Chain A
Amino acid sequence: MKIKTIEDLKKIKEEAQQKTALREGVGDYKLVVYMGTCGIAAGARGVMSAILEEISKRELKNIIVTQAGCIGLCDREPLVGVEKRDGEKILYGNLTPEKARQIVASHLVNGQIIGDWVVSAQQ
């Protein structure tokens, strides 16, 4: 359905609310998209957009998506950090929207870290 008016948006919201409780991911995660000038120039917006779409499509809850500035790894941008509530921190680098979707599916939903794209890991 093409969304043209506020009424269309309201309808979609009602439908979403009627669905039963949202699905939980494996754990509660915080995603940090690095959105300094370097990140944005390297494609962070598309990466963030893909993450938001995937979270919405999979109806995931308890996932916080936030941003941070430049951390000096400009050549590895776009960077995304995945932080678990128990303290595990994984930093992924050189991402694309497609890779970001796979991170949501593999890491957030199934708890599998995608080792090939990891820049740093902290247990």
Chain B
Amino acid sequence: MKEIALHVLDLVENSARAGAKKVRIAIIEDRKQNFFKLVIEDNGRGMSQEVLEKVKDPFFTGQHKKVGMGVSLLAQLAEQCGGYLEVDSEEGRGTKVEAIFRRDHIDRPPMGDIPETLMVLLALYPDLEVEFEHVIDGSRWMMNSKELFQNLGIKGSNDLGLLLPSIRDWMASQEENLLLKGGKIDENQDY
């Protein structure tokens, strides 16, 4: 996949299919220490020890299908970028996936279109509480979908449907602000 944001979409789909009510997405970048961390944590049904051991195997899946590429693709990518992927899960409690990359590694995909990923998630899972946080060198922006919907007085799916592209634009301007605050970041720059 060409973007970190697409991996986020793919992994949160897993959370939603595991019956999660809440998912926390955090992206933490530090240019001095040269790391890029992605955390996705949900309160879905979790995995047993047995399943957990096989989670990075692309030909293993816990769902009713034949393959399970999602986590294995991200794990391979993180390792290729001088990092690693860790999955922590407990049955009945939830799952936490943490992927660490060397930030300036040439193979690390760009962040990509996070606002579009979040919009698609809000559209598909309006009842899932999505908490998103993006930190660059200590500056951050965050949002919580439940609070946002309450704040805007969104009641039904018709309400939400009309407003989604505007919500995406709002999130895009938060991202833009963060990049300005954290200093201009050129994805192709060498440090």
Contact = CB atoms under 8 A, between A and B. Distances in A.
**Do A and B assemble together?**
yes
Interface of A: 2-6, 8-10, 12-13, 16, 22, 35-38, 40-41, 45-46, 48-49, 52-53, 55-57, 59-67, 69-70, 72
A3 B124 contact: no
Interface in B107-164: 113, 116-117, 119-120, 123-124, 148, 151-154, 157-159, 161-164
A66 B158 contact: no
Nearest to A53: B165
20 contacts: A4-B170, A6-B148, A8-B170, A10-B153, A22-B158, A22-B162, A36-B13, A37-B10, A40-B6, A49-B120, A52-B119, A52-B165, A56-B161, A61-B158, A61-B161, A65-B124, A66-B124, A67-B124, A70-B65, A70-B67
- Identify whether the interface residues of B are mostly helix, strand, loop, or mixed: helix
Given A9-B163, A65-B161, 16 more contacts: A2-B169, A4-B170, A8-B170, A10-B151, A10-B153, A13-B153, A13-B159, A13-B163, A38-B69, A45-B120, A49-B120, A52-B120, A52-B164, A56-B162, A57-B165, A62-B158
A95 to B, nearest CB: 15
- For the complex of A and B, the 3 pairs showing the least CB-CB separation, nearest first, are A3-B169, A37-B69, A3-B170
Contacts of B69: 37-38
Given A2-B173, A37-B10, A69 B65 contact: yes
B155 to A, nearest CB: 11
Contacts of A13: 152-154, 159, 162-163
Contacts of B163: 9, 12-13, 16, 56
Contacts of B66: 72
Contacts of A10: 151-153
B162 A65 contact: no
Contacts of B51: none
